[in-house]
Amino acid sequence: MKYALYVVFVFGVAIVETIYISTKGLDEIIDHSEYYSKLLSIDNHAYFDAVLVLYRSLGDNLSLTFNNTIDFYNVQRHLIMLAGLIPSFIIFKRLYVVTLQAVGIQSFEFVLLMLSLSPLLLYPLGYDQLRWWSMAIANLSISIVIIIIYNTELAEKLMDYFF
């Protein structure tokens, strides 16, 4: 129960922090064009629409995300991504099941796995949703490696299952 409350607390803090940043943003500190120019001077890969996320209201960001989501090009990109990730999703699902059977939901390992998906909290606010998916999958992979290194019992169960 302690770990479940911890997960709820951390996700709650992450949601509040995301809402706070999305509503306060940088608009009071620096103009969006000036900030975009600074980003371009550091790295030439900044996107103007992605920078504007920091300057729009929460409602505007949600509306933009919804409109981008139903756009044919973005739907096509997401479907291609999901189709390509089906094998990974199957493996991750089985890793979750084996982990839960081995250590239970009230464990550090489960909390770590759940928190590794936290970049998906930014999905409704961001302009580049595929980035949040890639960060969540990378976090999940790193979390699984950490769990396997520090929990030999679970590592043995995973080895038995997959090999």
Model confidence at 152, pLDDT cuts 50, 70, 90, reads confident
Mean pLDDT on 139-157 = 83
pTM check: above 0.85: no
- Percent of all residues in the chain with a pLDDT value above 90, rounded to a whole number: 0
pLDDT of residue 24: 65
Tokens of 74: 């973005």
| Spans of all domains in the chain | 2-162
pLDDT of 141 > 80? The answer is yes
- For 68-125, how does the pLDDT look when each residue is reduced to its tens digit (9 = 90+)? 777 788 788 888 888 888 888 888 788 777 777 776 666 777 778 888 888 887 777 6
Is the Cα dihedral 129, 136, 95, 114 positive or negative? negative
Instruction: Please give the C-alpha separations between residue 60 and each of 13, 35, 109, in angstroms, as whole numbers.
Output: 22, 20, 37
Q: Among 18-27, 48-57, 128-137, name the most confident range.
A: 128-137
CB atoms within 10 A of CB 131: 14
